[in-house]
Amino acid sequence: MTENTQTTPGLVHGVAACVCAVLGFFIPVLGVILAVVGLVLGIKAFGIGKENGNDTVNILGLIGAILSGISVIVSIFAMMALIGGIGLLSVLGGSSGW
């Protein structure tokens, strides 16, 4: 019974990290925040798994942290492209003479 109570927080953190990472890919602006939260939860789950010696929590935390890190990078590039595209359109629209 003690093993179940020790691994439950790690499993919850790991699953939440994976969910936040996947949602981070699909929600444009909120995705960065979700991905950062997923990254923190994934690292926390990895630490809990390492502390308790539970490989399942370890792997789940690692997967959540990696997916969240990728999601952070993709979200930042998407926002930069969106901001840059809007800036480019305003420059092109202003100088075209239409």
Predicted pLDDT of residue 1: 42
Q: Measuring CA to CA, which residue among 79, 76, 67, 6 is closest to residue 38?
A: 67
Question: Tokens representing 42?
Answer: 């994934």
What does the domain layout of the chain look like in residue ranges?
A: 2-95
Pairwise CA distance, residues 63 & 61, whole Å: 5
DSSP letters spanning 49-75: HHHHT-HHHHHHHHHHHHHHHHHHHHH
Residue 91 pLDDT? 66
Rounded Cα distance between 54 and 52, Å, is 5
pLDDT along the chain (98 residues), means of 10: 62 92 84 91 91 88 93 85 74 58
Using a 10 angstrom Cβ sphere, with 0-12 exposed, 13-18 middle and 19 or more buried, the burial of residue 38 is: buried
pLDDT in tens, 21-32: 999 888 877 888
Give pLDDT, residue 80.
82
